[in-house]
Homo-oligomer: A and B are copies of this chain.
Amino acid sequence: MLFIIVFFLNLLYSSYNLPFTTKEVIKLIIPGMTDLHVHGPQYAFRGLGMDLELLDWLNANTFPEESRFEDLAYAKKAYEIFVSDLRNSTTTRACIFATLHTEATLLLMDLLEKSGLHTYVGKVNMDRNGTPALQEKDSDTSYADTEKWILHSLQAYSNTKPILTPRFIPSCSDELMRKIKKLEKRYHLPVQSHLSENINEIAFVKELVPSSSCYGDAYRQFGLFGNEVPTIMAHCVYSNKEEIELMKRSGVYIAHCPESNINLASGIAPVRKYLEEDMHVGLGSDIAAGSSLNLLKSMAMAIQASKIYYRLVDQSKKPLAFSEVFYLATLGGGSFFGKAGTFLKGYAFDAVILDDSHIRSPRKMNLEERMERAMYLTDEIKIIHKYINGKFIF
Output the nearest chain B residue to A75 by Cβ-Cβ distance.
B362
Output the nearest chain B residue to A84 by Cβ-Cβ distance.
B360
Using known A-B contacts A360-B81, A362-B77, determine if residue A377 contacts B310 with beta carbons closer than 8 Å.
Answer: no
Contact A47 B373 (CB under 8 A): yes
Contact B379 A304 (CB under 8 A): no
Contacts A47-B376, A51-B321 supplied; 13 other A-B pairs, CB < 8 Å: A45-B361, A47-B372, A47-B375, A47-B377, A48-B372, A262-B307, A265-B310, A267-B308, A291-B300, A292-B376, A292-B379, A308-B308, A308-B312
Q: Is A209 an interface residue (CB 8 A)?
A: no
Contact A291 B363 (CB under 8 A): no
Q: Which of A286-319 contact B (CB under 8 A)?
A: 291-292, 294, 300, 303-304, 307-308, 310-313, 319
Output the nearest chain B residue to A199 by Cβ-Cβ distance.
B311
Using known A-B contacts A265-B310, A312-B267, determine if residue A81 contacts B51 with beta carbons closer than 8 Å.
Answer: no
What chain B residues lie within 8 Å of A369 (beta carbons)? Answer: 48
What chain B residues lie within 8 Å of A78 (beta carbons)? Answer: 361-362
Q: In the assembled complex, how far is the CB of residue A128 from the closest CB belonging to chain B, in whole angstroms?
A: 27
What chain B residues lie within 8 Å of A312 (beta carbons)? Answer: 267-268, 308, 312-313
* A interface list, Cβ under 8 A from B: 44-48, 50-51, 65, 74, 77-78, 81, 84-85, 259, 262-263, 265-268, 291-292, 294, 300, 303-304, 307-308, 310-313, 319, 321-322, 360-363, 365, 369, 372-379
Using known A-B contacts A47-B375, A369-B48, A379-B294, determine if residue A262 contacts B308 with beta carbons closer than 8 Å.
Answer: yes
Output the nearest chain B residue to A313 by Cβ-Cβ distance.
B312
Q: In the assembled complex, how far is the CB of residue A305 from the closest CB belonging to chain B, in whole angstroms?
A: 8
In the assembly, what is the distance between CA of A99 and CA of B141, in Å?
Answer: 69
Which of B44, B45, B362 interacts with A44 by CB under 8 Å?
Answer: B362
17 pairs, CB–CB < 8 Å, chain A vs chain B: A47-B373, A48-B369, A51-B319, A65-B363, A74-B362, A81-B360, A262-B304, A263-B304, A263-B307, A268-B308, A268-B312, A292-B377, A294-B379, A308-B308, A308-B312, A312-B312, A312-B313
Using known A-B contacts A265-B319, A267-B311, A362-B78, determine if residue A291 contacts B377 with beta carbons closer than 8 Å.
Answer: yes
What chain B residues lie within 8 Å of A300 (beta carbons)? Answer: 291
Output the nearest chain B residue to A361 by Cβ-Cβ distance.
B44
Contact B379 A311 (CB under 8 A): no
Q: In the assembled complex, how far is the CB of residue A132 from the closest CB belonging to chain B, in whole angstroms?
A: 21
Contact B379 A378 (CB under 8 A): yes
In the assembly, what is the distance between CA of A81 and CA of B361, in Å?
Answer: 7
